[in-house]
Chain A
Amino acid sequence: MKHSRVTLLLLLVSVLCLAVGAAQGQAAQVIAKSARICLECIGIG
């Protein structure tokens, strides 16, 4: 099934992206922003 192959390929790519990003420490970049009040988001910054 063509759809299933594309879906599986995209799933593999997404897991690969997550792994590469995590290995590069990008999770720390995410939490550094998300664990503080984002002034731009709430309309102050």
Chain B
Amino acid sequence: MDKKKTPLTRKRPLIQALSALLHNGHLTGFVTGNIYTGPAKQVCVPGLNCYSCPGALGACPVGSLQNALSAYRFRFPYYVLGFLLLFGTLLGRVICGFLCPFGFLQDLLYRVPLPEKWRRVRKLHTFPGDRPLRLVKYGVLALLVLLLPFTVKGTPFFCKYLCPSGTLSGLLLIARDQRLAPLLGGIFTWKALVLTVIVLGSILWFRPFCKYLCPLGAFYALFNKVAAVRLGIDAQRCTKCGRCAKVCGMAINPAAQPNAAECIRCGQCVAACPHEAIEWVHPALSLPRGLGKQPPDKKGKK
């Protein structure tokens, strides 16, 4: 890989680490077990990061949305939706690829060394039934985040029954405050099981939670085609060699669909393209100099 060619892709792990740190900048919380309660908690963060995490500085948008929908005195959740729309419109699933702390955790787990026979499993980015399964995350968004919290007041269904970020937060809190341990019951056991499956799955496969379950990724996926930061194909340079599709962990073909809903904008295809045919484009906003390229004109010329 030409390192000068793909600075954004090359810097992705660093950006992810910094973002995880920013999402969880209340570092003393990890020592004391006390969560942050300051004014930043009224601001929603872009990634999936439980607000009960001892380090969390902001509010989880999925939790905040469910809380607003399940409030006994319902008001249309303009505020939380405003944040979600803003993040989605500016970045789409760039948030999944670059900013989400839980996405970063899955990427780290995917780097855990494996014996040779298991490494072959890793190379299978898709399997029969994979495509329909990816629709489950839209069901999670519609049912557990929107519909059920709205109809059954006082219960954030996604947080309560599925969210692995919350379970991680719970484990961190219980580690610091043993008084919580006797309160654990069947729901915690279920959530711990879900977390375990996701952790093991993330070691074997690329981003299973993002692919199949994440309601936040499902929401941002709706914006991939119109987000300010997108990917573009220079048709004159693309030879349809298939290199981009081969490296894509989300098993899409970037040359055919650079702005597919499933694309988490990890930039691996940009780095892998030998012809520099895939580019970061930014029609409405400008990336810092050197991190992106101007979109090609209608004829595909530079």
A residues lining the B interface (CB < 8 Å): 1, 3-4, 6-8, 10-11, 13-22, 24, 26-31, 33-38, 40-45
CB–CB A41/B163 < 8 A: yes
In the complex, the number of residue pairs spanning A and B with C-beta atoms less than 8 Å apart equals 163
* Chain A hits for B85, CB < 8 A: 10, 13-14, 17
* Chain A hits for B77, CB < 8 A: 21, 26
Interface residues on B, range: 35 or more
Whether a CB of chain A sits under 8 angstroms from the CB of B17 is no
* Chain B hits for A17, CB < 8 A: 78-79, 81-82, 85
* Chain B hits for A13, CB < 8 A: 85
CB–CB B180/A44 < 8 A: yes
CB–CB A34/B59 < 8 A: yes
| 12 A–B contacts from the bound complex (CB under 8 Å) | A7-B283, A10-B88, A30-B64, A30-B67, A34-B56, A34-B58, A34-B59, A37-B173, A41-B163, A41-B169, A43-B166, A45-B160
In the complex, A18→B89 CA distance in Å? 14
Question: A24-B79, A41-B169, A41-B170 are known contacts. Are A31 and B50 too (CB-CB below 8 A)?
Answer: no
In the complex, A31→B185 CA distance in Å? 27
Question: A24-B78, A43-B184 are known contacts. Are A35 and B283 too (CB-CB below 8 A)?
Answer: no
